[in-house]
Amino acid sequence: MLERVDFREAQREAFRADVVAGLTATRKTLPSRWLYDDRGSALFEEITQLPEYYPTRTETAILRTHAAEMAAFCGARAVLIEYGAGAGVKTEILLGALESPALYVPVDIAGDFLVDAAERIERRFPYIEIRPVVADFTADFDLPADLPRLPPRVAFFPGSTIGNLAPPDAAEFLKRMRAHVGPQGKAIVGVDLRKDLGVLLPAYDDAAGVTAAFNLNLLERANRELGADFDLAAFAHEARWNEAKSAVEMHLVSRRAQTVRVDGRAVRFEAGETIHTEDSRKYDVDGFSRLAQTAGWSVAREWLDPDRRFAVLGLA
Ligand code: AVI
């Protein structure tokens, strides 16, 4: 219990430091990882069901269609390490297809989330051994020393979350995955692909306003946790394409000139000035392949949907 309180307090202090640094910078920014408090995670769940948000539906369909080939790629009795324990149905598709998987290792920073995920998998696959690991997978961490190296380990990172990392961080992450699974190991990674802006932008600015609420929740979180006084009606959600970065950027645009109090300081906004809150990078398979190579991987298999919107890549 004490550990949980300490964790929450440490998170709040880290949030405070990022908010102060991000809002006092010349170009205001807030790291996207703070989007996911309880309310943000619930809103993200809603986003995944929206008609405009194609990635979740498309990736799930790819996994369903090609599960048997993916299982063959993983090999018999694989040890599956999942980074982020929230994939739910996607995890179940892969685990269900694997030939008597030896072990499932979900890794997540949120202990409660991990317990829920482990219990769900245990109910569905009582024959699979589960070894949850509490860790922030965006930073360096070690897997338990007694985790078997054989049968081969397979890293699973669905959801195109790799697209939310800047390329150097994505390369670091892929290197960490490589170190975790070892030279015989493999990985299955979900990657969202470049596409028509007519499809891409509505996925990040839906008609029902759920993505807007998800983005604005960052300001609500700052009000709740840090006692800031953001007037939510004075900011608008915007999704814009940045071709140089090949990314959809999310911004919160100040609707007027205003001053907000945050952690005892006055933060000035000009009308139209923005807080940049997220990048969602879109790759093509070649571009991702080059990135993966810098981290010691090569793309061994590609599974795409018929409209080539999303790729699930097998790395070896
Ligand atoms: C979690 N991640 C892959 C989502 C994405 O599509 O980049 C986050 C998201 N942001 C707005 N909508 C969804």
- Cα 154 to middle of ligand 1, angstroms: 24
229 within 8 A of 260, measured Cβ to Cβ? yes
Q: Does residue 127 have a pLDDT over 60?
A: yes
CATH of the domain at 5: 3.40.50.150
Q: Report the pLDDT value the prediction gives residue 5, as an integer from 0 to 100.
A: 67
Model pLDDT for residues 71-121, shown as the tens digit of each residue: 999 998 899 999 997 668 999 999 999 988 779 999 998 778 788 889 999
Structural domain tally of the chain?
1
Residues with CB under 6 A from ligand 1: 47, 55, 159-161, 163-164, 204, 211, 278, 280
pLDDT score, position 4: 63
Please give the distance, rounded to the nearest whole angstrom, from the Cα atom of residue 281 to the centre of ligand 1.
Answer: 10
Structural domain includes residue 250: no
Q: What's the rounded Cα separation, in Å, for the pair 276 and 270?
A: 14
Atom of ligand 1 nearest to the CA of 44: 13
Considering the chain, what is the average pLDDT of its residues? 94
User: Residue 171: which of 138, 148, 203 has the closest Cα?
Assistant: 138
Q: What is the atom index within ligand 1 of the atom nearest the CA of 214?
A: 11
State both tokens at 106. 């979900």
The percent of residues above 90 in pLDDT, for the chain, comes to: 86
Closest protein CA for atom 7 of ligand 1: 280
- Structural domain that includes position 66: 1-218+282-316
Q: Hey, what are 82's tokens?
A: 């999942």
pLDDT at position 8 = 82
What tokens were used for 93?
């598709």
Tell whether 269 is covered by a domain.
Answer: no
Do 255 and 271 touch, CB atoms closer than 8 A?
yes
Q: Is residue 68 part of a domain?
A: yes
Q: Give 3's pLDDT tier (boundaries 50, 70, 90).
A: low
pTM for this entry: 0.95
Tell whether 267 is covered by a domain.
no
Q: Is residue 124 part of a domain?
A: yes
Task: Give the model's confidence band at 148: pLDDT under 50 very low, under 70 low, under 90 confident, else very high.
Answer: confident
Would you say residue 227 lies in a domain? no
Q: Which amino acid is at 285?
A: V
280 Cα–ligand 1 center, Å: 6
Cα 55 to chain center, whole Å? 12
Smallest CA separation from ligand 1 atom 4, residue: 161
Sign of the Cα torsion 74, 80, 83, 84 reads positive
Tokens (6 digits) for 68: 């048997």
Confidence check: pLDDT of 2 > 60: no
Q: Which of 112-116, 123-127, 304-308 has the highest mean pLDDT?
A: 304-308
Calculate the dihedral angle through the C-alpha atoms of 92, 98, 103, 105, rounding to the nearest 10 degrees. Answer: -40
Summarised one tens digit per residue, pLDDT across range 5-53 is 677 888 999 999 999 999 999 999 999 999 999 999 999 999 999 999 9
Structural domain includes residue 139: yes
312 in a structural domain: yes
